[in-house]
Structure 1
């Protein structure tokens, strides 16, 4: 089991590469992958990294080397995966609300297709029949996960085909001859209760009886990782045991030895990521003491987008007196990372670290306010490697066409 990066290491990286800075710890990613693999050793399990969490090509190559597959939600992620060395049979392509041409592009590349709406399912069946195997994404209408904005299995979600539309799916499969090899569901993120997965699995087992050629059931992901010291995480060991028992029972009753698939994204990379920023100003008002840092929601949007919590520490003054601050960015919008957070006394110039920054941090970054995107660093075997250069001013103009 790898150790977390130390305060001294992080301070050193901030000095070497500057701030703001994203840092990823390769060995932590491996630890998380090994934890999952061990938890599901009693069942035929495959894991596909949900790369929307973090797509730096070096992260993809590292995860490819661990033996995982890749879960992609756009054709461009598919191309990134191929460039990183994933073979098409280890890439699961699950887009939603895309043009049929994007689905067809995935088919031409030979990846595993996961279709999540009736319209595309019918078009694909009419064009290809059973010549190309597919997976179907089902919406089980199970509410799972944390913030409503990241729940994907409820009745109002745009994702998947409603479980109540099974008769429609069956008609399309029967009339077009579609070859359905798998069934998929994903209820959301931050799932604390493993019974959410088991309830979904029960739904999937019931649907599987309608598809004699089925080979796997994909339960998505949503494994929770802890964000603060007293937080909980999904008990993947207990889940692995119960999923293994459920698949063994299904095999005994139906004679089918199905695989179970998962798509961990945040679970693999969140805790491996650190976001380093510098305090620009300590600003006291009549009601609040603000710590204004040299970043904003243009670099880390999760707190503003869906109230995500990131533990923050003052690396430069760990022994300072505890004080209460509101940590904000330098974007010209309300730009709050944390309200009323207790930190060791912060001085202008101090370096702060945001933990759990590996997932949906840099990946959702922008150039809002014409601010430059930060650099990314990968720490592997104790050595720091620059894996993305910090933006320069010319990057803001790179794709603009001046006509005046």
Structure 2
């Protein structure tokens, strides 16, 4: 199945001024059709004895996005108790969620967690302490558990900050501690019916294959009750020209082969689970910004736009690159970095935001210096549109830095209609939780 691309590969420039005039800039733009096509591609991934796909909602937790994704048949992986509560407020039942978190809830949050589990939420044990605290409750309520295992080997993230399986990562029960936790579970008559490993985001597909082999090995050794094996997410997405996207058909075929071999060796059929986030939504999104100033110096030409690191922190945090398009105020596409059109007559500009930070730029080198982008020279009032921003942009942005307000978001529906899905913050919301204290 070939996914129909929307995002960096195909920008409808005529929509940009329409959106800007109606809702202002900066603003996030998403595409329903792209998201649904991504979901369908994942659901058609080759598998041996069944496939369960969860969406890692930390990638984009907007309620409309969650409803689109779950409407296509994906369930959710939640990284916090608040994410689970947020998804439930969007109308999604707890029975369609798994909680994989570093948190150790106590007090009222502990009571909330127990209520969620009783309502069907799958609890993914990520530490020995988490197990000890949940064990008696799980036994009393006859609840089967999942375990996230730290594989004790090199991870597979695209960068050190996205590597969740290396010796510098603390996620999951370390493989050395699995026998201890398993022995405690056996004493209480508890079962781990699912095993989960996530080694990182956007890394080498070969590492993903190695993780399959490694995980099936310790499932065979330590988890006789497991019926589901989750290989995590982290499927590479091509945001920029020249980047190679993960071949999920090939990865699925490899997982299928290894799970079939597992059955031949053990007689056990395992359902495969994956939990992508980026793959589902990254290239469904754009950030639309307006050029508010130009500065020409002896060293570098600058475009100042009305949204930067407070909307998209990935360049500063990860050194990530996102494709840039320049759109005139009348909707004419001047240049598109993604498809490299036009190739001539371009000029170098450092594209920066409004924050009082030297790293507030759409492109930075490994030392944090601004990297100029080759574009057709625009005028003040034209638009800089940043692609590949559907994942880990608005959900991870350092909103309200410099007291900038979080922008709104718009979705292009399958019918082509533009629908506002989140309002821009109003200024009063910046201070609504602050207290007037007399000192």
* Superposition TM-score, scaled by structure 2 size: 0.88
Pair 1:215-2:227 in alignment? yes
Deviation for aligned residue 1:363: 0.9
Deviation for aligned residue 1:105: 5.0
Separation in 2, partners of 1:291, 1:370 = 21
- 2:421 corresponds, among 384, 387, 394, to 387
1:176-216 residue CA offsets vs partner (Å, 9 max, x unmatched): 222111100001101232x3222212222222232222110
Pair 1:328-2:352 in alignment? yes
Judge conservation of contact 2:325–2:334 (CA < 8 Å) in 1. Answer: no
Separation in 2, partners of 1:97, 1:223 = 25
- 2:14 corresponds, among 8, 14, 20, to 8
In structure 1, stretches of 5+ residues that fail to align are: none
Q: Which moved more, 1:264-273 or 1:72-81?
A: 72-81
Pair 1:281-2:293 in alignment? yes
Written as runs of structure 1 = structure 2, the 5 A alignment for 1:286-365 is 286-316=298-328, 318-319=333-334, 321-334=345-358, 335-338=360-363, 339-365=371-397
Separation in 1, partners of 2:283, 2:434 = 36
1:252-307 residue CA offsets vs partner (Å, 9 max, x unmatched): 22111111111110110000001000111111122111111111211111111111
Deviation for aligned residue 1:327: 0.9
Separation in 2, partners of 1:367, 1:196 = 37
Deviation for aligned residue 1:51: 0.5
- Classify 1:105/1:309 alpha carbon distance in 2 versus 1 (closer, same or farther; 3 Å): farther
Q: Which moved more, 1:121-130 or 1:131-140?
A: 121-130
Pair 1:88-2:94 in alignment? yes
Judge conservation of contact 1:47–1:68 (CA < 8 Å) in 2. Answer: yes
Judge conservation of contact 1:181–1:216 (CA < 8 Å) in 2. Answer: yes
The total of aligned residue pairs comes to 403
Separation in 2, partners of 1:98, 1:25 = 36
User: Aligned-pair RMSD on alpha carbons?
Assistant: 1.8
- 2:258 corresponds, among 246, 251, 259, to 246
Deviation for aligned residue 1:127: 4.2
Separation in 2, partners of 1:99, 1:126 = 15
Q: Which moved more, 1:121-130 or 1:14-23?
A: 121-130
1:74-118 residue CA offsets vs partner (Å, 9 max, x unmatched): 112112222333333221111114335265454244300101101
* Superposition TM-score, scaled by structure 1 size: 0.95
* Secondary structure of 2:362 counterpart: strand
Deviation for aligned residue 1:61: 0.9
Deviation for aligned residue 1:245: 1.1
Separation in 1, partners of 2:40, 2:204 = 20
- Classify 1:387/1:237 alpha carbon distance in 2 versus 1 (closer, same or farther; 3 Å): same
In structure 2, stretches of 5+ residues that fail to align are: 336-344, 364-370
Partner residue, 1:78? 84
Judge conservation of contact 2:146–2:194 (CA < 8 Å) in 1. Answer: yes
* Secondary structure of 1:48 counterpart: strand
Separation in 2, partners of 1:270, 1:12 = 23
Judge conservation of contact 1:72–1:78 (CA < 8 Å) in 2. Answer: yes
Judge conservation of contact 2:52–2:271 (CA < 8 Å) in 1. Answer: yes
Separation in 2, partners of 1:162, 1:35 = 32
- Classify 1:286/1:99 alpha carbon distance in 2 versus 1 (closer, same or farther; 3 Å): same
Deviation for aligned residue 1:41: 5.1
Partner residue, 1:177? 189
- 2:213 corresponds, among 202, 205, 229, to 202
Judge conservation of contact 2:126–2:149 (CA < 8 Å) in 1. Answer: yes
Partner residue, 1:378? 411
Judge conservation of contact 1:21–1:276 (CA < 8 Å) in 2. Answer: yes
Q: Which moved more, 1:377-386 or 1:250-259?
A: 250-259
Partner residue, 2:35? 29
Separation in 1, partners of 2:76, 2:55 = 5
Partner residue, 1:111? 121
Judge conservation of contact 1:106–1:113 (CA < 8 Å) in 2. Answer: no
Q: Which moved more, 1:20-29 or 1:71-80?
A: 71-80
Partner residue, 1:367? 400
